[in-house]
């Protein structure tokens, strides 16, 4: 039987499609002092992914034409006392969602913060990770890094938690601490960043294989 | 790109140093007075008035101007800002006013500097640069 010439091409196209569709995305939601960014960075290095954090804020603010909002968003302890208008903030939030989706479409990326776990909720081949640690542990870490008293560091921890919780509640109507937002929650109180990163890295290909399997099963060919 | 740390720069005004320390705290890249914008020219085409914002934040593409003068004396600064917007509409610039600066210094534990802003000195020489 003569196989049509188009057959191998079709297989290649399907494989390319599957490959594109399985470009992984890891979102990391982290508490201040939980070492979440450090873990994300390790994951990105090991998986040869790109890591996106502050860049997301700056890009969104510039896209929305409200660069001052970037500063206000970074200033989670309100040291600068900026108060962007509701209109500016809304434009920024919409731009953030857009930029997150752009990065996710490119794939092979670790996205840190900005409610990316909500924006990309339910997306295939995306792993949502939450990094936490007890308040006291986080305060001690901040105190060590910034050379400040633990009590001051604890105030920072509380202010940051409040800010991030409010951000999720105000703009996405979800509870930051809801475990159902995440595929994996890691407490770094007694784990090293390397161990946490290794755990996430191990999960990525397992999840990818599952996505490919599901796609093949759903493929009528 | 010339990125500073607050301890490595000689600032004209303590509020600038406090502001730079906040930027350092958040890991925001900044440059101190990196650019001067001509605002007025004389008949011979020489620059007669210019404006040098205190900071530039390259990642945010944002210039920052700090002022600690009293509200009733801020007209000159506002006029310059207005002129900036007319001549350089593509330039993003944010003016931090006296009260915002004072609040920032209190939050940062710089009570003496905050008192100075509240005092009469700020009325006369509180502008953070000559731009």
| A72-109 burial: b if 16+ Cβ within 10 Å, else e | bbbbbbebbbbebeeebbebbbebbbebbeebbeebbb
Maximum mean pLDDT: which of A80-84, A197-201, B78-82, B122-126: A197-201
Q: What six digits make up the tokens of B118?
A: 């509240």
In 3-state terms, what secondary structure has residue A184? Answer: strand
Residue A172 · residue A115 · CB < 8 Å: yes
* Residues facing residue B24 across a β-bridge: none
B61/chain A closest Cα distance in angstroms: 7
Which phi and psi angles does A133 have, rounded to 5°?
-165, 155
Q: B68-94: per-residue pLDDT in tens? A: 766 666 777 788 889 999 999 999 999
What ipTM, to 2 d.p.?
0.74
Per-residue pLDDT tens for A64-85?
999 989 989 998 888 887 888 9
Q: Which of A70, A79, A81 sits opposite B60 (nearest CB)?
A: A70
A13 versus A110: the higher-pLDDT residue is A110
Chain B residues with CB under 8 Å of A55 CB are 59
Contact indicator for A107, A20 with CB cutoff of 8 Å: yes
Structure tokens at B126: 């509180």
Indicate yes or no: pTM above 0.80.
no
With an 8 Å Cβ cutoff, the interface of chain B facing chain A consists of: 22, 25-28, 57, 59-62, 92, 94, 96, 100, 103-104, 107-108
Axis crossing angle, helix A86-106 with helix A67-74, rounded to the nearest 10: 80
Cα gap B79→B31, rounded to integer Å: 24
CA atoms within 13 A on the CB side of A191: 21
User: Beta-strand (E) ranges in chain B?
Assistant: 31-32, 37-41, 47-51, 55-57, 62-66, 93-96
Record: contact A67-B27, CB cut-off 8 A: no
| Interface contact B62-A70, CB threshold 8 A | yes
- Cross-sheet strand order for the sheet of A25-30: A50-52, A109-112, A25-30, A126-132, A184-187
Whether A79 and chain B come into contact, CB under 8 Å, resolves to: yes
Q: Closest Cα of chain B to A151: distance in Å?
A: 15
Tens-digit pLDDT profile for residues A157-172: 998 999 999 999 999 9
B62, A79: Cβ pair inside 8 Å?
no
| Residue entry with tokens 């999960």 | A203
Crossing angle of helices A150-172 and A135-146, rounded to 10°: 120
**Tokens of residue A27, six digits:** 């979102």
Going by their DSSP bridges, the two strands B47-51 and A184-187 should be labelled as unpaired
pLDDT in tens, A84-98: 899 999 999 999 999
- Give me the phi and psi of B21, to 5 degrees please: -65, -35
In 3-state terms, what secondary structure has residue A76?
coil
Higher pLDDT, A182 or B107: A182
Buried b (16+ CB within 10 A) or exposed e, A169-208: eebbebebeeeebbbeebebeebebeebbbebbebbeebb
Please check whether residue A111 is in contact with residue A27, taking contact to mean a CB–CB distance below 8 angstroms.
Answer: yes
B104 pLDDT above the threshold of 50: yes
Whether residue B123 has pLDDT greater than 60: no
> At A220, is the pLDDT very low, low, confident or very high (cuts 50, 70, 90)?
low
From residue A14, how far is each of A17, A132, A218 by CA, in Å? 5, 39, 12
């Amino acid at each position: 039987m003569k196989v049509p010439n188009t057959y191998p091409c079709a297989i290649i196209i399907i494989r390319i499609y599957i490959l594109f569709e399985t470009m992984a995305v890891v979102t990391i939601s982290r508490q201040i002092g939980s070492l979440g960014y450090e873990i994300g960075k390790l994951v990105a290095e090991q998986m040869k992914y790109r890591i996106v954090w502050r860049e997301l804020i700056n890009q969104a603010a510039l896209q929305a034409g409200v660069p001052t909002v970037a500063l206000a968003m970074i200033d989670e302890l309100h040291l600068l006392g900026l108060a962007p208008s509701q209109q500016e903030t809304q434009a920024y939030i919409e731009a953030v969602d857009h930029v997150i989706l752009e990065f996710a479409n490119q794939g092979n990326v670790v996205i840190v913060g900005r409610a990316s776990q909500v924006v990309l909720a339910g997306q295939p081949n995306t792993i949502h990770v939450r990094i936490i640690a007890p308040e006291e542990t986080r305060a001690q870490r901040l105190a060590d890094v910034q050379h400040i008293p633990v009590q001051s560091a604890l105030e920072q921890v509380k202010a940051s938690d409040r800010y991030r919780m409010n951000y999720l509640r105000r703009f996405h109507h979800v509870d930051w601490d809801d475990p159902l937002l995440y595929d994996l929650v890691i407490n770094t109180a007694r784990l090293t960043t390397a161990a946490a990163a290794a755990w996430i890295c191990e999960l990525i290909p397992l999840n990818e294989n599952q996505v490919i399997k599901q796609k093949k099963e759903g493929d009528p060919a | 790109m010339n990125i500073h740390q607050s301890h490595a720069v000689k600032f004209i005004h303590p509020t600038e140093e406090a502001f730079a320390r906040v930027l350092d705290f958040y890991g925001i890249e900044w440059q101190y007075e990196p650019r001067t914008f001509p605002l007025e020219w004389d008949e011979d085409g020489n620059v007669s008035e210019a404006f040098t914002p205190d900071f530039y934040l390259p990642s945010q593409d944002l210039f920052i101007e700090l002022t600690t003068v009293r509200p009733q004396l801020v007209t000159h600064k506002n006029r310059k800002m207005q002129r900036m917007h007319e001549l350089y509409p593509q330039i993003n610039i944010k003016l931090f006013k006296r009260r915002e600066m004072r609040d920032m210094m209190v939050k940062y534990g710089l009570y003496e500097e905050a008192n100075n802003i509240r005092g009469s000195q700020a009325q006369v020489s509180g502008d953070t640069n000559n731009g």
